[in-house]
Amino acid sequence: MAIIKKYKFKSRALGQSMHEMGGFNSETSTFTPLKVRKGFEVHQALDAITLAVEAGIIDNKKFVSQLFDKKSDFTKFVTYLSEYEDVSCRRIIDRWWTALSRLADWDDEEGFISSAEIAEKLLEVAIDSGQIKA
């Protein structure tokens, strides 16, 4: 048995479909706003959002316009995110949770565990900060 060596996460290039739908470019540290269209995958969007938040290029008072092409793309994303665990039987991983908690400026796990709770909080923050209308 051998000790696993320390490592740092390295992002992989996005597939062509995600380039068309937006995402994070690790070479330029820029983010192309996401377009929620046919073939949109929540987990790919969460990866892209996480990379952008980790890169320090997202303002939590403007994240809707920075991360999504249109406000309607954000509301679609929130809907898909709210159903993510139920539909796909997957969970929000720690890295995604940390990035989403930074967007919501929320560091407490209570009420921010399930994908439905996280989606609800992101929507609430977007409304309260004037990024979208209720």
Range of 23's domain? 17-128
- pLDDT at residue 89, rounded to an integer: 67
pTM equals 0.85
Residue 87 identity: V
Whole-angstrom Cα distance, residue 5 to residue 101? 29
Helix axes 71-88, 115-128, angle to 10 degrees: 160
How far is residue 57's CA from residue 120's CA, in Å, rounded to a whole number? 23
Tens of each residue's pLDDT in the chain, 134 residues: 788 788 787 766 554 445 678 888 888 889 999 999 988 889 989 999 999 999 999 999 999 999 999 999 999 999 999 999 876 667 899 999 999 999 999 988 888 999 999 999 999 999 999 999 98
Asked if residue 102 is part of any domain, the answer here is yes
The answer to whether residue 35 sits within a structural domain is yes
- Within a domain: 77: yes
Secondary structure class of 32 (helix, strand, coil): strand
Query: How many structural domains compose the chain?
Result: 1
Which backbone phi and psi does 133 adopt, to 5 degrees? Answer: -95, 150
- pLDDT number for residue 81: 96
